[in-house]
Amino acid sequence: MDAQRSQIFLDFEKIQHLGPSHSVKHRGPEAFHQVLVQGDLRGLKVMVGEYREDVNLVFEVCSKEMEWQAKPLALGLSGLWSLEYKQELTSPLCIAASHGYTDCLQYLLQRGARPNMVVGNKSALHAACENAHADCAELLLEYGANPKLLTEEGLSSLHLCDTAQSFRCAKLLLKYRADVNQLSEEYQESPLHVVARHGLHNHTHLYLRYGASVNTLNIHQESPLASACASAWRPEDQEDYLQVCKVLITHGANVNSIDHEKRSPLHKASKNASLQLVQLLLRHKADVNAIDYNGCSPLANVIQTAPFKEELNPHCTVQTLLNYGSRKVWPAAFPKVLKTCAGSPKTIEVLFNSYQQIHVTEEWMEAVPEELFQLHRPFYGSLFALASSPRSLQHLCRFAARKLFDNQCHTLIPRLPIPKCLRGYLLLEPEGLVY
């Protein structure tokens, strides 16, 4: 920014009361700012053409906002909302681009506004892409905006294309030679990391078509595939992340890459109880028994998160991992599992049925809170009844068959010429009771 350029201080609470017609009748930064915010092209032409306002002016806009502040315990308060002044630097070009005012933007560029001026922490192109205004982005690029320019936070315009609506912006940036493998400064993330994390499969296709490196690692040694698997935690977003991961794997993503904590994509997908992602990764030879720095396997991860993921049926993920050969929980640790997953009886049932015989003790009964026992009384009644009884012959036959098939249960059992219900039994489908 030019050192000679003056900064204009504006009180937002004051200027927001100026209407379009009122603004044009007054000279000065407040009126100039107002016509820009409202996209008033006629007023803008008056301010620049007649009143000679500088199209490269820097505004420092002040506004009052409530901010949460922690207070000392001696005051008897854990926190307090206080009214603070917030200040933000911006320019006419950034204002027009962020609001999508293409006609105002074009007029400013024609009058000499500099497309690569960074004000505050970003340029007008950053503002346009951040708000998915493709027409503004195209206009700026035509006037020489640099698609590789970074914000003060170290992000390129391509990094800011993180919504489905920004797809056209991303296409334009790449058309104008944006670097699809440009890394952000702080976290060393590629644009592919960003769109994978947001579940944007169209962007993912686009970036890979333009040569994005599918196995680039960020500062945490996390790949785009791992970023996608870690972010797939909302039920309504599962299909989007599945499509992203399919595209990444098709283009050669390493399903067994590990981050700085030795967590694989399968660890992350399992922690989210993302069944379809877990199945996809396992079909592509993900290591079902990988161990992270905390000594946790993918199975341990889904067990830990099961009580919070009931809407995603975590027992199905547990079932899938066991059918692909996951090592079982150490029997002596089962009371801890029971305590963690008491609210997910189907998860407990699937795990319990993966053993030939495991001794049910009084400690197990104490691990289940009374309210959960009453809520799931038929299941827990059948489970605790086995404290003095062996497992049924039918279960022992199931265990023998599964031991024979080992880590190929998922492949071989569905091929057996037996009734569908019996195949489900061998694959540990829960029934609501154990015997």
Q: What is the pLDDT of residues 139-165, one digit of tens each?
A: 999 999 999 999 999 999 999 999 999
Distance separating alpha carbons of residues 279 and 240, to the nearest angstrom:
15
Question: In this structure, are residues 96 and 39 in contact, taking their beta carbons and an 8 Å threshold?
Answer: yes
- Cβ atoms of 91 and 41 within 8 Å: the answer is no
What is the pLDDT at residue 2? 42
Query: What sign has the CA pseudo-torsion 303, 308, 309, 311?
Result: positive
- pLDDT (tens digit, 9 = 90+) per residue, 400-433? 999 999 999 999 999 999 999 999 999 999 999 9
- Looking at the predicted structure, is the pLDDT value of residue 72 above 80? no
Tokens of 265: 């994509």
Distance CA 163, CA 165 (A): 5
Contact between 102 and 135 (Cβ < 8 Å): yes
Q: Is the pLDDT of residue 22 over 50?
A: no
CA 35/CA 27 separation, integer angstroms? 11
Query: CA dist 104 to 58, 113, 136, 252, Å?
Result: 17, 11, 10, 45
Buried b (16+ CB within 10 A) or exposed e, 294-332: eebbbbbbbbbbbeebeebbbbbbbbbbbbbebeebeee
pLDDT in tens, 234-287: 999 999 999 999 999 999 999 999 999 999 999 999 999 999 999 999 999 999
Is the pLDDT score of 78 beyond 60?
no
pLDDT above 70 covers what percent of the chain? 89
Spatial distance between the Cα atoms of 312 and 297, rounded to a whole number of angstroms: 19
Nearest-angstrom CA–CA distance, 103 and 241: 37
Closest of 162, 161, 232, 150 to residue 188, by C-alpha: 150
Which residues partner with 88 through β-bridges? 61
Q: How far apart are CA 341 and CA 314, in angstroms?
A: 10
Q: Which tokens sit at 108?
A: 């400013």
- Domains in the chain: ranges and CATH: 1-62+85-180 (1.25.40.20), 328-435 (no CATH)
Structure tokens at 7: 């900064």
pLDDT recorded at residue 86: 67
- Both tokens of residue 404? 């024979």
66 has a pLDDT exceeding 90: no
Q: What is the mean pLDDT of the chain?
A: 91
Tens digit of each residue's pLDDT (9 = 90 or more) over 361-404: 999 999 999 999 999 999 999 999 999 899 999 999 999 999 99
Q: Is the pLDDT of residue 3 over 70?
A: no
Find the radius of gyration of the CA atoms of the chain: 29
Q: How far apart are CA 221 and CA 204, in angstroms?
A: 19
Tokens of residue 293, six digits: 């720095």
Q: Which of the four pLDDT bands, split at 50, 70 and 90, describes residue 61?
A: confident
Whole-Å CA distances, 268 to 142, 234, 281: 42, 13, 11
Residue 70 has pLDDT above 60, yes or no: no
Q: With a threshold of 0.75, does the pTM exceed it?
A: yes
